[in-house]
């Protein structure tokens, strides 16, 4: 089975721009979660989607948004980029997102904001 895939792998943007990251979950997985990893804040939960609905959201400003499509693929969008948005963005999938499940992670997208 193919793992979680994320595109693009690397991205360079300038302040004020917006960016869209994409995630394809493992086949059959319907829950997709997004995490931000920075040296200062570590790994932080952004949001989780299931059946095209956002069920959980972390403590991030409204500039961070996402969506999920009917095939479970997910995108996240960051508008009005700030320097502090430079991070590794990781996507993870699981079957239905229940507490006892294991989340499987993709390779991440490294975003650099200049």
Partner 1 sequence: AQKVTQAQTEISVVEKEDVTLDCVYETRDTTYYLFWYKQPPSGELVFLIRRNSFDEQNEISGRYSWNFQKSTSSFNFTITASQVVDSAVYFCALSEAGIAGFQKLVFGTGTRLLVSP
Neighbour tally for 7: CB within 10 Å: 13
* Binding region for partner 1 (CB under 8 A) out of 12-20, 21-29, 51-59, 71-79: 51-59
State yes or no: residue 102 binds partner 1 (CB under 8 A).
yes
The binding track of 52-81 with respect to partner 1, each residue x by CB under 8 A or -, is: ---xxxx-----------------------
Q: 4 and 106 in contact (C-beta within 8 Å)?
A: yes
d(CA 102, CA 8): 24
State yes or no: residue 42 binds partner 1 (CB under 8 A).
yes
State yes or no: residue 101 binds partner 1 (CB under 8 A).
yes
Token pair in block for residue 80: 């009005």
List Cβ neighbours of 55 (8 Å cut-off, separation of 6 or more). 48, 49, 97
State yes or no: residue 92 binds partner 1 (CB under 8 A).
yes
State yes or no: residue 107 binds partner 1 (CB under 8 A).
yes
- Closest of 2, 10, 48 to residue 26, by C-alpha: 2
State yes or no: residue 31 binds partner 1 (CB under 8 A).
yes
Which residues in this chain contact partner 1 in the complex, by CB under 8 A?
31, 33, 35, 42-43, 45, 48, 50, 55-58, 88, 90, 92, 94, 97-108, 110
């Amino acid at each position: 089975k193919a793992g979680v895939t994320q595109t693009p792998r690397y991205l360079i943007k300038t302040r004020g721009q917006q960016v869209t990251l994409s995630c394809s979950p493992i086949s059959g997985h319907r829950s997709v979660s997004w995490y931000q990893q920075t040296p200062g804040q570590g790994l932080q939960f952004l949001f989780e989607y299931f059946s095209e609905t956002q069920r959980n959201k972390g403590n991030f400003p409204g500039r961070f948004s996402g969506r999920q499509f009917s095939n479970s693929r997910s995108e996240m969008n960051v508008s009005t980029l700030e320097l502090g948005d430079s991070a590794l963005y990781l996507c993870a999938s699981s079957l239905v997102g229940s507490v006892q499940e294991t989340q499987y992670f993709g390779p991440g997208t490294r975003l650099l904001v200049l």
